[in-house]
Amino acid sequence: MISDSPDISLHLRRMMVETQLRGRIGSERVLDAMLRVPRHLFMPPEIRPFAYEDRALPIGENQTISQPFMVAVMTEMLEPRETDRALEVGTGSGYQAAVLSLLCREVCTVERIRPLYERATATLAELGYGNVSTYLSDGSIGLPDHAPYDLIIVTAAAPNVPEPLLEQLADGGRLVAPVGLRYEQALVLIEKAGGEFRQSWSTPCVFVPLVGRHGFLSGDE
């Protein structure tokens, strides 16, 4: 098994970075973070043999862990700095938060599904990602008590960027989210400067829907 052999898992991560990401991802910091985080340990044991393939995989509760390229491209779009505070909406497995934690000063991540929240919290703690704080809540309203954030990443699809997240973005901050129709989105980058927002569109994608007050579903459906 991958999890029983650090040498094999490191080899597979190197292959992932060199064959799937390099050439499409220009940031060496992002590539290094992807190399360092053991993606397979954020997955249920039965799917770990597929951990370093370039595809999304199920992690239970009708949720997925994003394909490595999507994790890398969204992280690169954020342009994380070592001094940044980041908010992640949709903890899922905890993998994206782990990648960000190597690039930022602090990561706050929020998940609405208790089993995923508990599993990710335990995994992040066990693997030593001490600058990640996990929260169980409706991510579509963000974490206002801990705002503002230099970076915000949304890992579920929404028809529009939730207004509370824009309010919690620091001046000079960057937000990345998949926005569009229920089964067809594109990544949007929003940059805040002087109280004004500028947006640009990037990679087409398909994410699970953001559930919550400002998502596709209310959470009661």
CA neighbor of 194 nearest in space, from 168, 163, 167, 172:
172
Selected catalytic residue, list 9, 27, 66, 140: 66
Amino acid at 193: A
Among 29, 30, 2, 35, CA closest to 17: 35
Burial of 95: CB neighbours in 10 Å, binned 0-12, 13-18, 19+: buried
d(C-alpha 54, C-alpha 76), whole Å: 17
Active site residue 3: no
Q: Residue 78 carries which side chain, given as an amino acid letter?
A: L
* Spatial CA neighbour of 88 closest among 158, 27, 140, 35: 140
| Catalytic positions, written as ranges | 66
